[in-house]
Amino acid sequence: MRVFVLGKDTSATAEWSANHPGTENFVSLVENPKRRSLAAIANTLIDSMEGLPDRVVGFLHADTYLAPGAFQAFKDCSLNGSVCGIVGRDPGKGNRWSKNLIDVPGLVWSLRPGPVSTLDACSIFFRRDLGLRFDSETFDGLHCWVEDLCLQAQAKGIRVEVPFADADHRGDSTFQPAWQAEYLMYRTRLGQKWAGTAFETT
C-alpha cells in the first residue's frame, strides 16, 4: 500500500508526520500551497506508481489521524474490492465514522461503519487495478473529487464503505464561509454530473 498525505503547506504535512511515527516506509507527504486540483495531483501520483508492487493507493488530508492498526484496516477493506475511507454519508441516515462502535439515535454524525453513498474527501483508499480515475476537469479545485470517484465506483458495481478503524478527521476549515462557498460550487457540479442518481455527501 502507498498512501499520500495532502497538505496545504509543509507545516501541515510535518504535523501529520509527527503524529504518525513509523509510517515513512509507505507514506509520502505532498504539499499543495498553490491549491492545485487535488484530482489532478492524485491522478499524477497514481500514474507514478506504474510498475510498483503496491496494489492499494490511499489519499489523506493532513488533518486526519490514524491510530496503530487503522492503516491495515483500510488496506484489508480495499484488498477485498471496496473503495473505503474514514467517514462517509449513508443517505437518509447520516454520517458513518470508522471510529464509532455504536449508533447514537438522532445524531447524524454518530453512525457505525458500513456502506455509504459517498466518502468525505478527507480520505479514500482503493485498489489500483479497479481502473478508477479522478475527474480533474470537472473537479479542478479542492472539493468533491473523492465523492465523484465514489459515484463512479458504484456505477461499476463497486462497494463504497467505511470499515471499522480508529481514525478521525478534524475538518478545521469546514465551517469557514469561504470554504463553504467554494464547496457549494463543486457540490453543484457534482449534482449536475450525476443528475438522476440519488446520493448524499457529508
pLDDT higher than threshold 80 for residue 130: yes
- DSSP 3-state helix, strand, coil percentages of the chain (rounded to 5)? 30, 25, 45
pLDDT (0 to 100) of residue 137: 98
Instruction: Decide: helix, strand or coil at residue 53.
Output: coil
What are the cell numbers at 13?
A: 504535512
Question: Considering the domain boundaries, does residue 198 fall inside one?
Answer: no
Question: Considering the domain boundaries, does residue 201 fall inside one?
Answer: no
Mean pLDDT (the chain) is 95
Q: Are 85 and 97 in contact (CB under 8 A)?
A: no
For range 158-166, the mean pLDDT = 98
Strand partners, 88: 96, 119
For range 22-30, the mean pLDDT = 97
Question: Considering the domain boundaries, does residue 199 fall inside one?
Answer: no
Full residue range of the structural domain in which residue 120 is found: 2-193
* Residues 66, 118, 185: CA angle, nearest 5 degrees: 105
Question: Considering the domain boundaries, does residue 139 fall inside one?
Answer: yes
Q: Are 140 and 127 in contact (CB under 8 A)?
A: no
Q: How far apart are the first and last CA of the chain?
A: 26
Burial profile 65-82: b = 16 or more Cβ within 10 angstroms, e = fewer: bbeeebbebbbbbbeeeb
Question: Considering the domain boundaries, does residue 7 fall inside one?
Answer: yes
- Domain with 155 in it: what CATH number? 3.90.550.10
Q: Are 138 and 166 in contact (CB under 8 A)?
A: no
Q: In the chain, how many domains are there?
A: 1
Question: Considering the domain boundaries, does residue 200 fall inside one?
Answer: no
Instruction: Please give the full DSSP string across 100-135, using - where no structure is assigned.
Output: -SS--TT-TT-BPSEE-SEE-TTEEEEEGGG-----
For range 43-69, the mean pLDDT = 97
Tens-place pLDDT, residues 59-114? 999 999 999 999 999 999 999 999 999 999 999 999 999 999 888 888 777 799 99
pLDDT (0 to 100) of residue 172: 72
Question: Considering the domain boundaries, does residue 55 fall inside one?
Answer: yes
What are the cell numbers at 110?
A: 454518530
pLDDT higher than threshold 80 for residue 175: no
Residue type, 10: T
Question: Considering the domain boundaries, does residue 175 fall inside one?
Answer: yes
Percent of the chain with pLDDT over 70: 100
pLDDT (0 to 100) of residue 103: 87
pLDDT higher than threshold 90 for residue 32: yes
Burial of residue 169 (CB within 10 Å: 0-12, 13-18, 19+) is buried
pLDDT higher than threshold 90 for residue 139: yes
58: nearest Cα among 20, 110, 89, 90: 20
pTM above 0.75?
yes
